[in-house]
Structure 1
Amino acid sequence: MTQVSHDSTRLSRELSQLDSIFSKPTDFTFAQYSFGMSKVAKAPRTKIRGTFSWALWDWAQQPYPTLMQTFIFPVYLASAVATMDQKPDVQLGLATTIAGLVLALTAPVIGRRSDEAGRRKFWLMLNTYVLVIITALSFFIEPKPEFFIFGLILYGLGSFVQETAFINYYAMLSSVSTPKTVGRISGYAWGLGYAGGIFLLLIALVGFVLPDVAWFGIPQEDALPVRSVFLFAAVWIAVFSIPLMLRVPETLKKPSFQRQSIFTSYKITIREILSLRKQAPETFKFLISSAVYRDGLAGVFTFGAVLGTLAFGFDQTSIIFFGIAGNIVAGIGAAVGGRLDDILGSRTVIIASLVGLIIAGTGVFVFADQGQITYWIGGLILCLFVGPAQASSRTFVSRFTPDGREGEVFGMYQLTGRALSFLSGLMWSASISLSFVFGVTSNNTVWGIWGLMLILLVGLILLLRINPNPKINFTK
């Protein structure tokens, strides 16, 4: 946490910097609302509220990745709804793959249109409330095999809608920050998201999953306590997204905007991709390198629970407790990483985070025979470095994207990430399979770590080739 020195010279410098931050109409600061950093009471409240409201959306949407994509809904589908003959693990992967392919095809066009037509907030809020509807509909998935396909449709559709929302959300970052505060604001938004995940897991665990009688007297029949978590998640998203709708200004339409067909949009998108390589070549290269290591980061979360269960003997409740601890640590890492981002630069923070991840992952494998303490220590260190790597990645894109192309470039950011989303699953499975070839006969699951570490290492090598302070040609 940032502490203001009592030294008068330093205090003067701090106040001077804050004054410069608030000197422009579109510049906001999040510092006064985050993690006890409020030191100046006279800053323009409307500007602060706009930035805080933008960051709060990370908190608002957190039920989807935490409850609906990771810890509860997919587990409910696989264990309570589907039968083993329906191969729920394979089907869930297929639903995710289809959603990723659709996103890969549409993300750049969606982003480019948001740049040209404006209305980023409108499309973000539309996606948000569609996500609310999808989350609420999940309540109607009863624990019967005939509901499994409906559940898969909601699971895949929700993944697509959420990722589409992120395109416009990320593109708004530059409008609620300054070059000096963009890393801090991005990091605190991630921190708010992780904090939201902690509260959600605690509420789900204490209020619905563990007790014999769930909150509000909900009976145990037909898995109603677990299904009620989905209604709770929908209400959470709807309520906490309201501040962004009210406080963050809308993006205006470009004067040159003209309505275009989907085909024309794709043609122009291809041309824009080629022009980005000329206009901001380092940003273009970063999109490629980040696609690799971001899939490794996703794999750490995706397979972390599997690793804890199969390799270290954690039960469902223990995994949820670990998820709570992991979110706390990741939130702290994101907040600290955001501050370091503004001081050291995005690339430096990402490099340090990837090195830390590789060392921690290697440690989990090497000391796996020490039991659950290895998973707790190594896993939490992994969580510590995941947050800064994620937050600084979007900060790098925001810093070094040409003005007016934010939505388009963040669409490519989503596209490149999704285009390689098969890597972590492939390398995880291949590494475990190789352990059998090497004659390993026990705890083969832990070998999957090597596949994820290899992805992170390749992403790190590609990142080292990128200029940390690239020059941008502002003419296409």
Structure 2
Amino acid sequence: MAANPVAAARWDWRSVICWALWGWGSSAFNTVILTFVFTVYLTGSVASDPQTGSKALGVTLTIAGACIALIAPVTGQRSDAGGRRKRWLALHTALVVVSTAGLYFVQDVPSSLLLGLVLVAVGSVFVEFAGVNYNAMLLQVSTPATIGRISGFGWAMGYFGGLVALAIVLFGFVQPEIGLFGVTSEDGLNIRVVALFAATWFALFALPLLIFVPEAPSPADQVQRSFLTGYLVLGKRLACMWRTDRSTLGYLAASAIYRDGLAAIFTFGGVIAAGTFGFSPGEVVVFAIAANLIAGASAFLGGRADDRFGPKPIIVTSLFGLVVVGSSLVVLPDKAAFWVCGLLLAGFLGPTESASRTFLARIAPPGREGETFGLYATTGRAVSFLGPLAFSGFIALFGTQRAGMAGIVLILLIGLLAMIPVRAPQRTDAATTGSPL
């Protein structure tokens, strides 16, 4: 598996910072909306009961995942052609911001559940599309010797951005009886205002990348095609990969499975904390702040280890830790156990995500990074029913959220076993980079 000869030749601190700030901003959707605050509000306050809300959320995110699987690689392919990566990133970011702001209208009554689920699904689809182009831009701001640490820095910025956003949410809106601007919990107003905050946060921190990082040039062999023609081209390239590069296909398949387990931890972590371990909304946010701090630090350190040892050892070691700790959490009974195991899980999450991105970036064909990360999104979402289905299905079978946790651990174990035989990409010596990271 040959490494991608990343085009950048030197450390460009401004481009890296601007690129990483997008991750800082997008964390408001992923952390505040999708994981720890708004989905907890949907399942715990808007739905008629937590079990019904959890199952409805799982079904909704399964549908959203199917949409991503069908469309992501062609949108990535089209952004590669014509030098339009930033334009598509801007459009998809704007759609996430608008759908997030729309959550303000979701009141704490069951009749608002459908609106909330639809807007969360729309946001989750377009944040994934935006992420395809964002991940492809990693190759514009890094070199072969620094790609691991810059990816880790980007993930760390995302986690720390989530930490700061959650702290503002906790002390400004969730915890006080009367929050900022006189907001109270009547009609769920304190949580609905959090949606407006998250939308504003994302919009502001996305701007530096969109303004200051140059657009990627269009490769000479890339031409704009119709949307449907893009699927034909994609099919031919997949057939070629099957004949000549099955190791890459193996990585896409293995990472699809374990990344869906990671996504399930993010999506249902707050729901499990509240429903199984009795965390209050304020306690969920406090835990989320601590988890983001641990995950951000571990992603940063894992990025440096990535450049030194390569991404595969980081992925395999972290997945093993996730399976062991997750299994312990299924049987341990109390809130203190959730604190310990949850923070350990966070410590393994950051390096897994960062190394997974650099693994693919190292092997992406030059000029087809958007298409490759689109495939990365598609293969992930092609099996994205696994995490929500394992969670909601185990709840339906055994009647408890604790059983749902066991389903998520099973997905992580399958992903780990599938990853072990995948051949690692060639490593680049990271001796002298000029990078302060």
TM-score by length of 1: 0.83
Equivalent residues in 2 for 1:269-308, closer than 5 Å = 269-308=234-273
Conserved 8 A contact 1:280-1:402: no
Equivalent residues in 2 for 1:321-470, closer than 5 Å = 321-366=286-331, 368-369=332-333, 371-429=334-392, 431=394, 445-469=401-425
Distance 1:73 1:333, change over 3 A: same
User: For residue 432 of structure 2, what is the aligned residue in structure 1?
Assistant: none
Tell me the distance in 2 between the aligned counterparts of 1:336 and 1:206. Answer: 29
Amino acid at match of 2:164: F
What is the count of residue pairs matched by the alignment? 422
Conserved 8 A contact 1:282-1:470: no
Higher-Rg member (1/2): 1
Equivalent residues in 2 for 1:49-448, closer than 5 Å = 49-83=14-48, 87-366=52-331, 368-369=332-333, 371-429=334-392, 431=394, 445-448=401-404
Conserved 8 A contact 1:27-1:176: no
Amino acid at match of 1:453: V
Tell me the distance in 2 between the aligned counterparts of 1:139 and 1:151. Answer: 9
Tell me the distance in 2 between the aligned counterparts of 1:428 and 1:95. Answer: 13
Amino acid at match of 1:151: G
Conserved 8 A contact 1:290-1:393: yes
Note the C-alpha offset of 1:294.
0.9
| Structure 1 residues 148-188: Cα deviation after superposition (integer angstroms, max 9, x where no partner) | 33322211111111010011111111111011110101111
Range 211-220 or range 175-184, more displaced = 211-220
Conserved 8 A contact 1:202-1:324: yes
Alpha-carbon RMSD across the aligned residues, in angstroms, is 2.4
Q: Does 1:26 align with 2:5?
A: no
What's the secondary structure of 2:216's corresponding residue? coil
Tell me the distance in 1 between the aligned counterparts of 2:294 and 2:133. Answer: 27
User: For residue 433 of structure 2, what is the aligned residue in structure 1?
Assistant: none
Conserved 8 A contact 1:293-1:455: yes
Identity of aligned residues (%): 42
| Structure 1 residues 24-57: Cα deviation after superposition (integer angstroms, max 9, x where no partner) | 983354xxxxxxxxxxxxxxxxx21011111111
Conserved 8 A contact 1:187-1:388: yes
Note the C-alpha offset of 1:86.
12
- Runs (5+) with no aligned partner, structure 2: 1-5, 428-437
Note the C-alpha offset of 1:426.
3.1
Tell me the distance in 1 between the aligned counterparts of 2:102 and 2:276. Answer: 34
- Runs (5+) with no aligned partner, structure 1: 1-23, 30-46, 437-443, 472-476
Tell me the distance in 2 between the aligned counterparts of 1:93 and 1:28. Answer: 44
Note the C-alpha offset of 1:454.
2.5
Tell me the distance in 2 between the aligned counterparts of 1:88 and 1:250. Answer: 42
What's the secondary structure of 1:170's corresponding residue? helix
Tell me: higher relative CO, structure 1 or 2? Use CA pairs within 8 A at least 6 residues apart.
2
Amino acid at match of 2:202: I
Note the C-alpha offset of 1:311.
3.6
Amino acid at match of 2:422: I
Note the C-alpha offset of 1:205.
1.0
Tell me the distance in 2 between the aligned counterparts of 1:95 and 1:448. Answer: 17
Distance 1:27 1:135, change over 3 A: farther
Amino acid at match of 2:340: I
What's the secondary structure of 2:81's corresponding residue? helix
Note the C-alpha offset of 1:430.
5.3
Distance 1:25 1:253, change over 3 A: closer
Conserved 8 A contact 1:135-1:234: yes
Range 295-304 or range 255-264, more displaced = 255-264
